[in-house]
Chain A
Amino acid sequence: MVKVSTKNANGTKIESADASLRILRGYFRLQCRTQSPIPNPQSLIPLMAQTKRRFWVRPRELRRQGVLGINLRNSDYVLATNPRKHYPYLDDKQRTKEICHQRGIPVPQTYALIQRYGDVRRFLELVGQRQQFVIKPTKGAEGRGIVVIAEHDGTEFVTSSGQKTTLPDLRYHVAGILAGLYSLAGQPDRAIVEQRILRHPVFEPVAVGGTPDVRIVLYRCVPVMAMVRLPTVASRGRANLHQGAVAAGIDLSTGATFGGVCRQQAVSVHPDSGNPIGGIIVPGWPKLLAAAIHLAEGLEMGYIGVDFVLDAELGPVVLEANARPGLAIQIANRCGLLPRLKLIDAQPAEMFRPDRRMELVAMLAELSC
């Protein structure tokens, strides 16, 4: 019998038999979709001490756990350390890409940048002979307006989720992007046509209908927390947590995934495929961390989130950077961000030298939750 091991937040390993997992699979699926208040029997040790899931906690308890709230994130981290004038480099994916190019950080190859309505007609010419490509707005948020084409014959296009679409539909979509339909404040936008990322085989068992992405939160150019977001059927292939994607924490020192959360509910297997989420080592982890640090330096921002995808051939590539990274990463890691941010603020200046940053990362990884 194949033993599957998962690692929880405390670092203890839980072993479970493959067969019993299979039996529980249907139950988990139900758990994830119906948000049942009944605690998941496999929901890992920290929650087992609780007899029933509480609906409400006191602010003091959250403070004790070092949970970062939105107001504090905005006032003390985002507003305080992110200069406004650098925002355009993050809000515009094309400009982020340019910085990555300058610094030699791998990004998906750009096939075309559509800026004018006139170019919408020539869209197919710009794509050329490539069978697979991605269309996305440069200023989109939360994965909006992204279309992934898996194959086409010049008239009929098939998206990654298997939907068929036509050239006029795609042109309409591009025109919508240019008009600012998906941009942050509705201002006119540009559309990027770029290389489609091929899902790395390591995530094959736990990503359904889309490509998982790895989010690193960096504070003062030091990675402080990481998670992987796994698309599900419910999230329609998007790695969007509030739509039902699964998030799992990543151990900063090893790059191994642990835990797992789906719609605020602890899970240890993927709700669709039933495969365990924990214990996956993110390939090229040191390279990924180095790239994140490098990009944060280039962007000159204090508190950012950098999103990576893992390409089967290129390894980790940068998708985008975010000036207001969400706080769900704390739920995925079952750990508050504040102790880590405070630890970094307490360090002397010499610890922030490029060669010593990894020491800091190691210190953070040691920090217990």
Chain B
Amino acid sequence: MHMNARKVAPRVVVLLMVLGLSAVSLRMNSRQKTQLRPGDSMWRMTYVVNFRADKAGAKLRASFPLDTPSTRVVRREPLLAPGMKTARPRNPRSENREVAAVAPQPGDFRVTAQCDIHLSPRAAWQSNRPRTDLTPKAAAAYLRSEKAVQAESPTVTDTLAVLRTGVSNKKGLVERLFEYCQTEIRPGAKDAPHDAAGALGQGAATPLGRARAMIALCRAAKIPARLVTGVEIKLGADVQPHRWVEVLSNGQWESYDPENGLAHELPRNFVPMRRDGAEIVRGRNVRGLHPTISIVRMSPPPGAATVSGGRRLADIFDLTRLPLEVHEILSLILLMPLGALLTSIFRTVIGIRTFGTFTPTLLALAFVYADWRTGLMIFAAVMVLGFASRSLLDLLKLLVVPRLSVMLTLVVLCIAFGIALFDYFGVKPGSQVLLPMVILTMTVERFFLTSEEDGVGFALQLLAGTLLVAFCCYMILCWATVGRMLLVHPELHCFTIAALILLGRYSGYRLTELWRFRDLAGPGA
């Protein structure tokens, strides 16, 4: 049987390589052939931000466009911030696409960012707009009075009282408020008021002030409203942010643009970037913040999702078609086999032993999500405290499953208070320190049993091996360029499988065996 395997394995490897190569070339061919549909266009948006950091830890945040029925961000370059530490705030509940960079010391910095947008006049990506049902808490956020949106100020309430007369329903009221804001508030110069009360009081305002005035009026009438900051996609070297208003009506957010006098249906080339009133580029502890956003039209790049309207079964094989958020997760997942490949190399070629086969890969994945320093510190804390409590737990003589569950609970508590401790001492914990708790529990248990049975030295050796392999896997998982390449060409994993098959048939010595059997190679032996 093994003679068979010896002959078949190389053939399978060759077959996989041929398969991989042909799939890659097929995909590249089809990419080159695909044209944008008539009317569709590709745009590249570039941010250049110059600023001065006042002190160490000064933070700059930039937001990227959100997807609409007619626009989609197909590619996003990572933030280019020389000398700064980039971080991606991951808040799953936030719809914002925000990236951040932290200045390690005061000084002048320059940050650039880039993204590509596919604009299609035919609505295709979101066929039906989702109904929004706000929870009372969420609704309160869209009804509250703010510093520049003074929904409770007498100027606003008095204006509302006048406008309200004779209007019976909500819809009619919103229309009248919109009408008022675009006709009765004159477009003012740069020094005109940009807050709601000022705009209504003086009868003149900046575009921002007019939008805020409408929001304040809606909120005073107990109608949820929000400020949208975005841009209009068109050629421009210094594109200014554009603001409009969204009002919740019958479970749908309706758009109103007092500046251009547009309502309900905004032009297809309006892309929102933030829906919470925040600026597109903002900073903390920074001065002289000067963002420039330029937009150019470009020829369709290979790899851009080019098919809009009409579904094809072949689209399933195009992962770039998926929303940008999914891209990140998918490219991380697609890197996992490379981590497994690395683990295999460590095991069969080098001969390093670890706790569990895929424990290092999963630890590495956790370290990617958390900041690796935080992850490592919490890992060390879990190991030390887990080991101590496991030793104490041994006195109680518990049965295996309940004992492991107690350990799991302790590990969870350890992680929770570890994060709290970091916070207390002002060290910002990574927003997601979701270490694989079950894996950690099993590692603590195995570490304890190994140190009891085979000595602490051996257990530490295994732990060091685990961390070494985890570190190398971490380096691989951080390799964003390869991750993106795999997203475009997932068929490259044919080569991964081929490499794994070759490794699986490797029958040479492991590196550690060259040490282990060194005495057998003596000249007289």
> Does B312 lie at the interface of the complex (its beta carbon under 8 Å from any beta carbon of A)?
no
> Does B508 lie at the interface of the complex (its beta carbon under 8 Å from any beta carbon of A)?
yes
B505 neighbours in A (Cβ, 8 Å)? 75
B186 neighbours in A (Cβ, 8 Å)? none
B521 close to A71 (CB less than 8 A): no
Of A46, A57, A64, A179, which one neighbours B518 at CB under 8 angstroms? Answer: A57
B525 neighbours in A (Cβ, 8 Å)? 9, 46, 65, 334-335, 369
Of B351, B507, B513, which one neighbours A75 at CB under 8 angstroms? Answer: B507
A61 neighbours in B (Cβ, 8 Å)? 521
> Does B61 lie at the interface of the complex (its beta carbon under 8 Å from any beta carbon of A)?
no
A335 close to B520 (CB less than 8 A): yes
B2 neighbours in A (Cβ, 8 Å)? 75-76, 79-81
B401 close to A70 (CB less than 8 A): no
> Does B1 lie at the interface of the complex (its beta carbon under 8 Å from any beta carbon of A)?
yes
Contact segment of B165-173, B247-255, B453-461, B472-480: B453-461
* Number of chain A residues whose Cβ lies closer than 8 Å to a Cβ of chain B: 52
B515 close to A56 (CB less than 8 A): yes
Which chain A residues numbered 308 to 357 have a C-beta less than 8 Å away from chain B?
A: 327, 330-331, 334-336
A-B contact count (CB 8 A): 114
B449 neighbours in A (Cβ, 8 Å)? 181
Which chain B residues numbered 466 to 521 have a C-beta less than 8 Å away from chain A?
A: 505-510, 513-521
B65 to chain A: closest CB distance in Å?
A: 50
| Binary CB contact string for chain A from 43 to 70 against chain B (1 if under 8 A, 0 otherwise) | 0011111100111111101111101011
Known: A76-B2, A264-B516. A57 touches B508 (CB 8 A): no
> Does B523 lie at the interface of the complex (its beta carbon under 8 Å from any beta carbon of A)?
yes
In the bound assembly, the distance between CA atoms of A64 and B509 in angstroms comes to 13
B510 neighbours in A (Cβ, 8 Å)? 69-71
B453 close to A80 (CB less than 8 A): no
Residue of A nearest to B396 (CB): A172
Of A10, A62, A240, A330, which one neighbours B514 at CB under 8 angstroms? Answer: A62
| Binary CB contact string for chain A from 181 to 200 against chain B (1 if under 8 A, 0 otherwise) | 10000000000000000000
> Does B136 lie at the interface of the complex (its beta carbon under 8 Å from any beta carbon of A)?
no
> Does B522 lie at the interface of the complex (its beta carbon under 8 Å from any beta carbon of A)?
yes
Of B400, B508, B522, which one neighbours A69 at CB under 8 angstroms? Answer: B508
Residue of B nearest to A71 (CB): B507
> Does A88 lie at the interface of the complex (its beta carbon under 8 Å from any beta carbon of B)?
no
Of B400, B514, B517, B519, which one neighbours A179 at CB under 8 angstroms? Answer: B400
In the bound assembly, the distance between CA atoms of A181 and B445 in angstroms comes to 11
B457 to chain A: closest CB distance in Å?
A: 10
B524 close to A330 (CB less than 8 A): no
> Does B189 lie at the interface of the complex (its beta carbon under 8 Å from any beta carbon of A)?
no
| Binary CB contact string for chain A from 260 to 279 against chain B (1 if under 8 A, 0 otherwise) | 00001010000000000000
B399 close to A62 (CB less than 8 A): no
Of B513, B517, B519, which one neighbours A47 at CB under 8 angstroms? Answer: B519
> Does A131 lie at the interface of the complex (its beta carbon under 8 Å from any beta carbon of B)?
no
In the bound assembly, the distance between CA atoms of A242 and B459 in angstroms comes to 12
> Does B182 lie at the interface of the complex (its beta carbon under 8 Å from any beta carbon of A)?
no
B515 to chain A: closest CB distance in Å?
A: 6
B524 close to A70 (CB less than 8 A): no
In the bound assembly, the distance between CA atoms of A179 and B506 in angstroms comes to 37
In the bound assembly, the distance between CA atoms of A46 and B521 in angstroms comes to 10
Residue of B nearest to A59 (CB): B509
B395 to chain A: closest CB distance in Å?
A: 11
B508 neighbours in A (Cβ, 8 Å)? 59, 69, 71-72
B101 to chain A: closest CB distance in Å?
A: 46
In the bound assembly, the distance between CA atoms of A302 and B351 in angstroms comes to 25
Which chain A residues numbered 4 to 42 have a C-beta less than 8 Å away from chain B?
A: 9-10
> Does A176 lie at the interface of the complex (its beta carbon under 8 Å from any beta carbon of B)?
yes
In the bound assembly, the distance between CA atoms of A246 and B384 in angstroms comes to 33
Chain B interface residue count: which class?
A: 20 to 34
> Does A137 lie at the interface of the complex (its beta carbon under 8 Å from any beta carbon of B)?
no
Of A49, A64, A76, A336, which one neighbours B524 at CB under 8 angstroms? Answer: A49
Known: A71-B507, A334-B525, A369-B525. A264 touches B520 (CB 8 A): no
A334 close to B509 (CB less than 8 A): no
B455 close to A243 (CB less than 8 A): yes
B520 neighbours in A (Cβ, 8 Å)? 62, 65, 67, 330-331, 334-336
Which chain A residues numbered 188 to 243 have a C-beta less than 8 Å away from chain B?
A: 240, 242-243
In the bound assembly, the distance between CA atoms of A87 and B513 in angstroms comes to 26
In the bound assembly, the distance between CA atoms of A242 and B462 in angstroms comes to 14
In the bound assembly, the distance between CA atoms of A65 and B520 in angstroms comes to 7
> Does B131 lie at the interface of the complex (its beta carbon under 8 Å from any beta carbon of A)?
no
Of B351, B458, B518, which one neighbours A242 at CB under 8 angstroms? Answer: B458
B206 neighbours in A (Cβ, 8 Å)? none
A169 neighbours in B (Cβ, 8 Å)? 397
A264 close to B521 (CB less than 8 A): no
B399 neighbours in A (Cβ, 8 Å)? 175-176, 179
A62 close to B509 (CB less than 8 A): yes
Known: A179-B399, A181-B400, A369-B525. A69 touches B513 (CB 8 A): yes
B317 to chain A: closest CB distance in Å?
A: 35
> Does B348 lie at the interface of the complex (its beta carbon under 8 Å from any beta carbon of A)?
yes
B1 close to A50 (CB less than 8 A): no
A146 to chain B: closest CB distance in Å?
A: 11
A50 close to B351 (CB less than 8 A): no
B454 neighbours in A (Cβ, 8 Å)? 240, 242-243
B524 close to A69 (CB less than 8 A): no
> Does A95 lie at the interface of the complex (its beta carbon under 8 Å from any beta carbon of B)?
no
Of B348, B509, B513, B523, which one neighbours A50 at CB under 8 angstroms? Answer: B523
Residue of B nearest to A80 (CB): B2
A58 close to B522 (CB less than 8 A): no
B509 neighbours in A (Cβ, 8 Å)? 59, 62-63, 67, 69, 71
| Binary CB contact string for chain A from 71 to 90 against chain B (1 if under 8 A, 0 otherwise) | 11011100111000000000
> Does A180 lie at the interface of the complex (its beta carbon under 8 Å from any beta carbon of B)?
yes
B514 close to A334 (CB less than 8 A): no
| New contact pairs (19) apart from A50-B523, A62-B509, CB-CB < 8 Å | A47-B519, A49-B522, A50-B522, A53-B518, A54-B521, A55-B518, A62-B513, A63-B509, A67-B517, A70-B513, A71-B508, A71-B509, A72-B508, A75-B505, A80-B1, A80-B2, A179-B401, A264-B516, A334-B519
Sample (17) of A-B pairs whose CB atoms are under 8 Å apart: A9-B525, A46-B525, A47-B524, A49-B522, A53-B518, A54-B518, A56-B518, A57-B518, A59-B509, A61-B521, A69-B507, A70-B510, A176-B400, A181-B449, A264-B516, A266-B519, A330-B520
Top-5 shortest CB links A-B: A80-B2, A179-B400, A61-B521, A72-B507, A57-B521
**Chain B residues engaging chain A, CB cutoff 8 angstroms:** 1-2, 5, 348, 351, 397, 399-401, 449, 453-455, 458, 505-510, 513-525
**Chain A residues engaging chain B, CB cutoff 8 angstroms:** 9-10, 45-50, 53-59, 61-65, 67, 69-72, 74-76, 79-81, 144, 168-169, 172, 175-176, 179-181, 240, 242-243, 264, 266, 327, 330-331, 334-336, 369
